[in-house]
Amino acid sequence: MRPRSIVFDLFGDYLRYRGGEVRLRPLSALLSCFGVADSTTRVVMARLRREGWFDTRPVGRETVYRLTPRGWQLLDEGRSRIFDRVREPWDGQWQMVIYAVPESDRAVREELRKELAWLGFGPLASSTWISPHDRLAQVEQKFADHPTVRLDLLRCRSAGLLQDREMVGRCWDLDILNQDYQQLLRRYRPQLPHYRAGRIEPRQALVDRMQLIYDYRKFPFRDPDLPVELLPGGWRGREAHELFLAVHELLGEAAGRFVDQVLGEGCQPRLQVSLFR
């Protein structure tokens, strides 16, 4: 796990609910659970501050890092995309984005593609992405301040379900994605009895919960959360999502106690090894 990712996951899962800020010393103590040295934590937080995700303020001799509005927005969007799933029936409409970005703005074009993938759009053709979910307003809002980006936002229907499924096959590799979901299930399902018994130490609960989030949050970039009628047979994505929610919940109380202990005491926890590392 990268230190940068751990920081965002700690804020997203815990610190945002504890005021959205933390002193550097207890933050370093939390990251030490994952083998991150104090010096690395300082470098990472300084970089994240320069990028605009955090502000700082002094408290005595210590530095407090707090989320900026940009940081809060990132965590809100990330939590919704990772934890929520669309359950309403599909109306059969596709949401289409056709974009044009000058060749000189390659970085902006790559940012646009990443944002479209994050929102569940898939590349139907060059510069043309589709999604079964109505997220056109989010795309438009995200790039409203990019004058070089031209967006054509459309709602449309295909000739029928067979063509819908053919389009899905062109946009997403669901076979590989399904195999990765099966691997996640094989990794975490055997741990359920152990977690349900409540015998895990609080510190280990935090490490395992963060590992779970790290392992799972790559899927929203790849999984468009398709309606049932567009999914292949034997699809394991929803089963994997339910398992993720169950394990996340089972580890929550013990992990939260450990975080509160570290925040309260500012102590340096002793390094242990995760079950999944």
| Residue 253: partners with Cβ closer than 8 Å, 6 or more residues away | none
CATH number of 3-74: 1.10.10.10
Q: 């449309």: which residue's tokens?
A: 156
Indicate the average pLDDT of the chain.
91
% pLDDT > 90, the chain:
79
Comparing CA positions, the residue from 132, 100, 93, 111 lying closest to residue 226 is 132
Dist CA 127 CA 63 (whole Å): 45
- Residue ranges of domains in the chain: 3-74, 93-156, 172-265
Q: What is the DSSP string of 190-223?
A: GGHHHHHTT-S-HHHHHHHHHHHHHHHTTHHHH-
- Per CATH, is 93-156 categorized as 3.40.50.300? no
| Residue 37: partners with Cβ closer than 8 Å, 6 or more residues away | none
Q: What is the pLDDT of residues 58-116, one digit of tens each?
A: 988 889 999 999 999 999 988 888 898 888 889 999 999 999 999 888 999 999 999 99
pLDDT-based confidence at 13, cuts 50/70/90?
very high
Give me the phi and psi of 257, to 5 degrees please: -65, -40
Whether 237 and 223 have beta carbons less than 8 Å apart is answered as yes
Going through the chain in order, the beta strands assigned E by DSSP cover 21-23, 54-59, 62-67, 94-100, 122-125, 128-131, 150-156
What per-residue confidence (pLDDT) applies to 1? 86
Q: How many residues does the structure list for the chain?
A: 277
Q: 């929610």: which residue's tokens?
A: 245
pLDDT-based confidence at 269, cuts 50/70/90?
very low
- Angle, helices 38-50 vs 24-32, to 10°: value is 120
More confident of the two residues 270 and 73: 73
What per-residue confidence (pLDDT) applies to 265? 65
What per-residue confidence (pLDDT) applies to 276? 34
Q: What is the pLDDT of residues 108-159, one digit of tens each?
A: 999 999 999 989 999 999 899 999 999 999 999 988 888 899 999 999 999 9
pLDDT exceeds cutoff 60 at 25 = yes
Comparing CA positions, the residue from 1, 4, 2 lying closest to residue 46 is 4
What per-residue confidence (pLDDT) applies to 275? 34
Q: Do domains 3-74 and 93-156 have the same CATH topology?
A: no
